[in-house]
A and B are shown apart, each in its own frame.
Chain A
Amino acid sequence: MKDTQRVIFVIVSLLGMLLLWQLIVWTADLPAFVLPSPGNVARRFMQILEDGSLLRHLGVTLFEVLLGLSLGLILATLTGYLLAKSRPVERFLAPYIVASQSVPMVAVAPLLVIWLGPGLLSKVLIAALIVFFPVLINTIVGVRAVPEDLYALMRSLQATRWQILRHLEVPAAMPVFLGGLRVGATLAVIGAVVGEFVGADRGLGFLINVGRGMYDTALVFVAVFVLVALALALYGLVVALENHLLAWQRRETKDG
């Protein structure tokens, strides 16, 4: 009941936005290269969907995002665990990690493209670097928050290092870790697109560049909408993962 209501709300508000958009186009009488009408955008969308170029560019960006997210995730989780468990490692690495956060990734992206070339690698690395920090922080916070008494319990049961990791640290840190992943997943999309802006010959970011260069504003709109859809889909996947893994945490509230 609640769910269908929510869906209806979303549909109504989307339709409202489209109507508003169309009204602005009509009343302001703007040229299509400033503000294309919804119809224009929809036609452009169908066009590049049919000639296959949209899916090709989407595939490239998706691939970069997934690789970058995975790489960032793996590096951040491993480093975060080490930092959480070892004071010396923390003292040694913390200054660099904090400093690296004050460097805007957008400014570093051109360097990475110069060093690694305009291909896949630079995009993956930029995405990975952007994902790294929030996941790292959440991994540290999650592992540090594991209750001392549960460690004592595991030790009293003579659990091995591996058993403590698997049966205590991973599940206990999971809620905070997934919070980091949720942020990281959307950041990975931004990272890949930033990389494509700087230098690329394919991908949705490249498509936006092309559209801008040719005053094909409808194309820019299409690429932006597809990017939003991509980010939302990734976010939704993480939320679904949370619902699955953290069912023990979810309180069924009577009033939704």
Chain B
Amino acid sequence: MTLSKNEPILSVKDLQVTFSDANGDLQVLNPLSFTVERQEFVGVLGPSGCGKSTLLRVLGGLLAPTDGEVLFRGEALQGPRRGVGFVFQNANLMPWRTVFANIALPLELQGAPDSEIAPRVHELIELVGLQGFADWLPRDLSGGMAQRVAIARALVHDPDVLLLDEPFGALDALTREQMGAELLRIAIDARGNARNGSRMERKTIIMVTHAIDEAVYLADRVLVLGPRPATIRLDVSVDLPRPREESLRYTPHFGALAQHLRVAIG
């Protein structure tokens, strides 16, 4: 596949999604168009029920658009692709699998040999800070730990695109901030893990969230969707330096960006 460095990794043209059932048609996504660059972190904000999850499912190839086209690396998207990691709104772990086995799932499905799976999974466990919990079952994990497992699972097969659907939505404010910072450390700053120095290439991330400050703190760019049927109301670049420091949250510029988005959401 020939792909120049500057070609967008995802490009969405006139995307439209309509759900039809016995009660008639529900238009969820109005024609939507945007592109996502390689290694860009795009935050998606929008009112509840406007179609954010639907958009993410289309981008992940889980749902076929009613109209319009989605190009992934320049090719029309047909079904889920390798190289995409999904994190769902709830941790979505398999309750019968241990932490280790949950994280190993993507590799198992790809048919990787056990000798490859074990070291890779332990590397991820360490990366998300769950050393010592490999044999735990999901029922014994806190919400934050479960979400770490979900993130490790999305990263284990080293995808270069991450689709995150309100990954920290169910967490308390403090844990959410902490998890956001860790996400940046792992997937964007690629500083790796201090302990074993593992590094990954910087990811392309599309993350749905309902928290404005989270979007500003994490993303390079924020899309604001309007109420259903959703259109793009606002497409804002977040020109804050990386790596993002915690103190950025309290600068006037951060406040102004958040304010701008707040007004756009209405």
Residue numbers of A with Cβ under 8 A of B are 147, 149-150, 152-159, 163, 167-168, 171-172, 174, 248-249, 251
Binds A, one of B8-16, B105-113, B202-210, B212-220: B105-113
Instruction: Determine the chain B residues whose CB is within 8 A of the CB of A163 once the complex forms.
Output: 109
Chain A interface mostly = helix
Query: What separation, in Å, do the CA atoms of A172 and B93 have in the docked complex?
Result: 12
**B residues bordering A, Cβ < 8 Å?**
57, 60-62, 79-82, 84, 86, 88, 90, 92, 94-97, 105-106, 108-109, 137, 139
Complex contact B95–A248 (CB within 8 A): yes
In the bound complex, residues from chain A placing their C-beta under 8 Å from that of B57 are 152
Q: What is the CA–CA distance of A167 and B108 in the complex, to the nearest angstrom?
A: 10
Docked-complex contact A167 and B80, CB < 8 angstroms: no
Knowing A158-B80, A159-B109, say if A152 contacts B88 (CB, 8 Å).
Answer: yes
Give complex CA distance A248, B135 in Å. Answer: 11
**Neighbouring A residues of B95 by C-beta, 8 Å:** 248-249
Please judge, given known A-B contacts A159-B109, A167-B105, A167-B109, whether A152 and B62 are in contact too, CB under 8 Å.
yes
Determine if B96 and A248 form an interchain contact, defined as CB atoms under 8 angstroms apart: yes
Partner of B94, one of A158, A171, A251: A171
For B84, give the chain A residue with the smallest CB separation: A156
Contacts of B139 in A (CB 8 A): 248, 251
Given contacts A167-B108, A248-B137, A249-B95, contact A153 B88 (CB under 8 A): yes
**Complex CA–CA separation, A156 to B165 (angstroms):** 13
**In the complex, what distance in Å separates the CA atom of A150 from the CA atom of B105?**
12
* B213 CB, min distance to chain A CBs, angstroms: 27
- Output the nearest chain B residue to A158 by Cβ-Cβ distance: B80
In the complex, how many angstroms separate the beta carbon of A164 from the nearest chain B beta carbon? 10
User: Which B residues touch A156, using CB under 8 A?
Assistant: 60-62, 80, 84, 86
Q: Once bound together, how far apart are the Cα atoms of A249 and B97, in whole Å? A: 10
Q: Report B-chain residues with C-beta under 8 Å of the C-beta of A155.
A: 62, 80
Query: 11 new A-B pairs (CB below 8 Å) besides A153-B92, A158-B81, A172-B96?
Result: A147-B92, A153-B86, A153-B88, A154-B109, A156-B84, A156-B86, A157-B105, A157-B106, A167-B109, A248-B95, A249-B95
Cross-chain pairs A/B with CB under 8 angstroms, 17 sampled: A147-B92, A152-B86, A155-B80, A156-B86, A157-B105, A158-B82, A158-B109, A163-B109, A167-B108, A171-B94, A171-B96, A172-B96, A174-B96, A248-B95, A248-B97, A249-B95, A251-B139
**Cβ-closest chain B residue relative to A147:** B92
Q: A150-B92, A167-B105, A249-B95 are in contact. Are A157 and B80 (CB under 8 A)?
A: yes
Q: Which residue of A lies closest to B111 (CB)?
A: A163
Query: CA A157 – CA B97 in complex, angstroms?
Result: 17
Contact B60 A149 (CB under 8 A): no
Nearest CB of chain B from residue A146's CB, rounded to whole Å: 11
Q: Give complex CA distance A117, B81 in Å.
A: 58
CA distance A204 to B96 in the complex (A): 41
Name the A residues within 8 Å of B106 (CB-CB).
157
Chain B CB within 10 Å, residue with most, of A155, A168, A171, A174: A155
Chain B nearest CB, measured from A193 CB (Å): 36
A154 vs B106: C-alpha distance when bound (angstroms): 9
Give Cα A157 to B62, complex, Å.
10
B56 to chain A, nearest CB (A): 10
Contacts of B60 in A (CB 8 A): 156
Q: Which residues from A are CB-within-8-Å of B86? A: 152-153, 156
> Which residue of chain A has the shortest Cβ distance to B91 in the bound complex?
A149
Residues of A within 8 A of B96 (CB): 171-172, 174, 248-249
Q: How far is the CA of A154 from the CA of B109 in the complex (A)?
A: 9
Q: How far apart are the CA atoms of A167 and B94 in the complex, in Å?
A: 9
A149 to chain B, nearest CB (A): 5
C-alpha spacing A172/B96, complex, angstroms: 8
Q: Which B residues are CB-close (under 8 A) to A248? A: 95-97, 137, 139
Residues of A within 8 A of B82 (CB): 158
A158 to B139: give the CA distance in the assembly, Å.
Answer: 26
Query: Among the interface residues A156, A172, A248, which one has the most CB atoms of the partner chain B within 10 A?
Result: A156
A248 to chain B, nearest CB (A): 4
